[in-house]
Amino acid sequence: MTVKEKQAILVLCGCDIAVDGRWGNESSAACRSFQTDAGITADGVFGHDTEQSARNYVAESKQIARKNVATGDSTPAPAMPSGNGSGMVSKYFSDTFTGSPSVSKLA
């Protein structure tokens, strides 16, 4: 998985970071914040546990969004407890990133 793919997944999880392909302080801090919110070891490394937690979060968000469209329900996407932005997958990022071959495999 490339750095840009990892950053895009963090954005889908509500993190407010640039998807620029450089894993610097901003990406590491966003990763730690997501890890803390997800209840996993917060080390800033986007490893197996982080990837699985992020994939689960995105899949759950997509499932809720599909249900909302089908039923007209207004239930929001699951929010992360705190610290990483809104915690909701916005329409902009869903439209922008879910067409990407690597990110669309998440769910």
pLDDT tens across 36-78, in order?
Answer: 999 999 999 999 999 999 999 998 888 887 877 777 766 655 5
Scored b (16 or more CB within 10 A) or e, 47-86 reads eeebeebbbebbeebbebbeeeeeeeeeeebeebeebbbe
Q: Per the confidence metrics, is the pTM higher than 0.75?
A: no
Q: Report CA torsion sign: 88, 58, 55, 2.
A: negative
Say whether pLDDT at 35 is over 80: yes
* pLDDT of 8: 95
